[in-house]
Amino acid sequence: MTAIAAGFTEQGGIPLVIAQASCVGDTQRVALRQERFTIHDPAPQPQRWRVPVARGGVEGVADETVLLDGAAEIAAGRCGDPVKLNPGDVGYYRVQYDAALLAALTRSIDRLAPADRANLLGDTWALVEAGRTAPAAFSASSALTGDDNRAVTDQIIAP
């Protein structure tokens, strides 16, 4: 536990977990790697954390947790299934999904738990602010126009 906490308490910044899906037959695998997330730092120093990364689906429950120390690969159901990292928004990291994973989550966003909807919107907008993705990636918010959860609506209004 000390080795995990040290990265978060002894260095600045926040981890960015980058998720890329691949399919072999009908089985989906997700490759994970990490970088340092910054918005206003033009020359960030690379940093590395030992990040407990939880994976779940649209149920909002973690099915698996891996300790990401650089790179890892996880099984993630059938090809095209939505995969939500950081279910329940309990981990201290941002997630950048590849186009296929983000599209699957966007199609299922109304089935995600409120914490997961807010987390997905927050991470996506932070990536837009950091110049790591195009504003079009934030289109998931249009599927939530009738959402009455305060945390979700705050994420839609705040940007």
- The number of folded domains in the chain is 1
Q: What is the CATH number of the domain that holds 61?
A: 2.60.40.1910
Fill in the amino acid letter for 140: A
Owning domain of residue 38? 2-157
Instruction: Supply the angle between the helices 114-129 and 150-157 in degrees, to the nearest 10.
Output: 20
- pTM for this entry: 0.84
Tens digit of pLDDT for each residue in 65-114?
A: 999 998 999 998 899 999 999 999 999 999 999 999 999 998 888 888 88
Tens digit of pLDDT for each residue in 109-146?
A: 888 888 898 899 889 889 988 988 887 765 655 555 55
Query: Which tokens hold the place of 144?
Result: 């939530």
Bridge partners (DSSP) of residue 65 are 54
